[in-house]
Amino acid sequence: MRTADGLNPAVAAGVGRTALLVAAARAIETHRPDALARDPFAEHFVRAAPASAGWPVRPEQVPAGEGDPLWGRLGRYFGLRTRVLDDHLLHAARRGVRQVVLLGAGLDCRAFRLDWPPGCVIHEVDTAGMLTFKQAVLDRIGAAPTAGRRVLPADLRLDWADALVEAGFDTAVPTAWLAEGLLLYLPAAAERRLVATIDRLSTVGSSLAYEVKPGVEGPRVRASPVYAAARQRTGIDLLALFDGGPRPDTAGELAARGWTVVTRTPYDFTAVHGRGPRPEPNDALAANRWCFATRPRRSSGPGS
C-alpha cells in the first residue's frame, strides 16, 4: 500500500498534523495572485500524507476564500509569518551571517526555496519522523537545496547542543536562529532550557526570531472560529496542543543575557505588506507575538 504521493505509509506516519496544516497554508498562499511567500514544495507534503491528502492546496479549493476562518484567515496568517521570517533570515545573510539553525524546522523548505548567498549552511533540527518524511518527499520530486543543508533528528525538549556541534555547527561564528511556531507547544522549563542553550551557543552578531503567545486566552477567544474550524476539519485541537502553564518571559531573559529584543504583532506586518490577517472580535491571533533578538555583545550575566 502507498500514499497518494507513492510513499510508504510508515514514512508518512511520522509527520505531525500541525506541520501539515502550515504546509497546506503555504501551498494556498503560493498560488495566490498576491502571494506574500512562495513554497512550491508545500503541496507535495500535503498530498503525501494520508491525514491531509484531501485538504485544499490552492485558493480556488477554499469556497469561502479569505473569509474561511481556517484556510483563509489562519492560512493568511501563516503566509505572512513565512514572509516575515524569510525576510529576517535573508537580512541576516546579507549582513554576512552564513550559519542558520531552524529549530523545529517542520516541513518548511527554506534551504530549497530561498536565494541564499554562497557559503550559507542551513541546519534543520526536528524529530526523526518529521525529517524522514520530509526527505522522502523531497527525494521523490528531485528537490535540490540552494545552500548547504544539514539535518539533525533531535527532541528539542532535551539536550541537543552537543549533537548540533557534532553535525558541523560552529560556535565561533554568528548564527541566525529561528524557532517558528515552536515555543507555543513547549513546557515553560523546556523553553527556558532552549533559550539558555541558544545563548550559550551564540557569539556576537547572532540573532533569534521566535513566536510566542503570552498569557491565557479567555473563553470567548478559545471559542474562536479559527480554533473550532481547525478541530472540526483537520482533527487538530490547537488549544490542547498549546502548553497551558504560565509562560516564561523569554524576551526579558534574553535581555538579561545581553540580547536586544524587539517584539511585534502580526498586524504590524499586515500594515507593512498591505495584506494579511486583520484584528477582529475575540481574536485568536491577537495575543501572538513575533520577537526578534540580536546579540551585539557578550554579557557578563547568566549564560556567558
The string of DSSP codes covering 219-277 is HHHHT-HHHHHHHHHH---HHHHS--SPPP-HHHHHHHTT-EEEEE-HHHHHHHHT-S-
The confidence score (pLDDT) of residue 10 equals 44
The confidence score (pLDDT) of residue 15 equals 54
Distances (CA, A) of 191 to 92, 215, 237, 245: 23, 15, 21, 12
The confidence score (pLDDT) of residue 1 equals 43
The confidence score (pLDDT) of residue 244 equals 81
pTM surpassing 0.85?
yes
3-class SS at 160?
coil
> In terms of DSSP bridges, do strands 207-212 and 289-294 run parallel, antiparallel, or are they unpaired?
antiparallel
DSSP state of 131: H
> In terms of DSSP bridges, do strands 176-179 and 99-103 run parallel, antiparallel, or are they unpaired?
parallel
The contacts of residue 75 (CB under 8 Å, 6+ apart) are: 24, 25, 28, 29, 62, 68
The confidence score (pLDDT) of residue 14 equals 44
Q: Which residue bears the cell 491571533?
A: 285
212 grid coordinates: 510566542
Q: Which domains does the chain have, with CATH numbers?
A: 75-294 (3.40.50.150)
The confidence score (pLDDT) of residue 16 equals 86
Residue among 76, 96, 92 at smallest CA distance from 35:
76
Residue among 172, 176, 284 at smallest CA distance from 238:
284
Per-residue pLDDT of the chain (304 residues; tens, 9 = 90+): 455 555 554 444 445 899 999 999 999 999 999 999 999 999 999 999 999 999 999 999 998 998 999 999 999 999 999 999 999 999 999 999 999 999 999 999 999 999 999 999 999 999 999 999 999 999 999 999 999 999 999 999 999 999 999 999 999 999 999 999 999 999 999 999 999 999 999 999 999 999 999 877 899 999 999 999 999 999 999 999 888 888 999 999 999 999 999 999 999 999 999 999 999 999 999 999 999 999 986 544 444 4
**What is the spatial distance between Cα 181 and Cα 179, in angstroms, rounded to a whole number?**
6
54 grid coordinates: 484531501
3-class SS at 105?
coil
